[in-house]
Amino acid sequence: MAAIHAAAMSTPRPWSGGEFAALLALPGTFATDIVPHAFALGRVTLDEAELLTLATHPDHRRLGLARAHLAAFHHRAAACGAARAFLEVAADNAPARALYDAAGYTTAGTRRGYYTGANGAAVDALVMVRWLGAG
């Protein structure tokens, strides 16, 4: 997971193997494993699910892997009792925003200057939400 995340993420910094292991050790945290070269990491707390990260290796993009892992995340979260899912995404990450829009997420809020972009400039984070169940 750390290798895929490092290849896929430029900012903020990629997560280490130790960070992934620590997250996966927490109750309610899970990773999708339906196909290689991509994954989703999420957690469920009570009736909410949070998508912590979604990564696809750059050599395997535009094959529907992110969409498949996002759907697997939704399915697993709902099976664990979550009624809605949320995530945050950099406002300037157009490919991710298009994926989340197509999956039924809507913007619920903005965290101003939450990320630091590749050029050092502040980038807003959009908090997005989606009801789980149909769709």
Under 8 Å between Cβ of 77 and 85: yes
pLDDT grade, residue 98 (50/70/90)?
A: very high
So where are the chain's domains? 2-131
pLDDT single digits (tens) 23-81: 999 999 999 986 789 999 999 999 999 999 999 999 999 999 999 999 999 999 999 99
User: How far is 85 from 46, CA to CA, in rounded Å?
Assistant: 11
- The residue that leads in pLDDT, 9 or 134, is 9
pLDDT band at 126 (very low <50, low <70, confident <90, very high): very high
Pick the CATH number of 2-131 from 3.40.50.10160, 3.40.50.850, 3.30.70.2740, 3.40.630.30: 3.40.630.30
